[in-house]
A = this chain, B = another copy of it.
């Protein structure tokens, strides 16, 4: 019965009136940054501190990563087929998957669980050691550490510095860095961009399910630019690889009349 109606607490839309989490949209347009309003939509409240600035810094950090990213490549080749902008960007967003932005959510869960243990023990380094030991014994990578291109990601380092200056770093970031210190006793793995975002999300109080949302919002900017770059090219020059290798069976032929199916010859 209750499923006859859709319910939402995000916005209230009436004729000539739009309110986001209760605030008339015109007040937000006049007085608030995009980062503040992202915080409002995602948490229900405007930030009381510098969270809006931190969100903008995160969005800036993820705005583009070149055509080498699967999302940008998907948008680029899809746009070459002559499709509208929303479909080209949509194809790219679909490609933000487990191996491309996908470490944010599992990393956030791991850190959140670790923080609960810290509450009991008060010993963050011990918890970090336990997390690393468990991953080593299970033969698994810890999500949010290491990057296949960058050994020292400039985005990760700068976001941590900004977070300090803005006063939004908290216990989650501290634990994430404690894990990094333990890892570096035996490897060169550093907290990567996904791990930094996971930690800062927790410190700012966001639902972990929103992990990839920051990626999607920000990367839409780069995807739009790549799509329009493609749209300006001549469509018949679509930039697909010409050196695809065929590795299947050599030419062969139907050797006998099929048992099932038509024969129209």
**Chain A residues within 8 Å of B, Cβ to Cβ:** 3-13, 15-38, 41-42, 44, 46-47, 50, 52-53, 56-57, 59-61, 63-71, 73-74, 76-78, 80-91, 93-102, 148-155, 157-159, 161-162, 165-166, 207, 209-213, 216-218, 220-222, 224-226, 228-229, 231-232, 235-254, 257-258, 260-265
Contact = CB atoms under 8 A, between A and B. Distances in A.
A10 B165 contact: no
A36 B261 contact: yes
A76 B95 CA distance: 10
Given A16-B153, A99-B235, A148-B236, A6 B244 contact: yes
B94 A32 contact: no
A207 B154 CA distance: 30
A30 B264 contact: yes
A154 B18 contact: yes
Copies of this protein in the assembly total 4
A256 to B, nearest CB: 10
Contacts of A162: 29-30, 264
A57 B81 contact: no
Contacts of A229: 8-10
A70 B64 contact: no
Contacts of A90: 87, 90, 93-94
Contact of A217 (B15, B98, B220): B220
A222 B11 contact: yes
Contact of A12 (B101, B209, B248): B248
A220 B213 contact: yes
A261 B31 contact: yes
A250 B22 CA distance: 5
B250 A36 contact: no
Contacts of A95: 77-78, 80-81, 83, 86, 91
Given A152-B16, A260-B36, A6 B245 contact: yes
B5 A245 contact: yes
Contacts of A25: 60-61, 154-155, 158
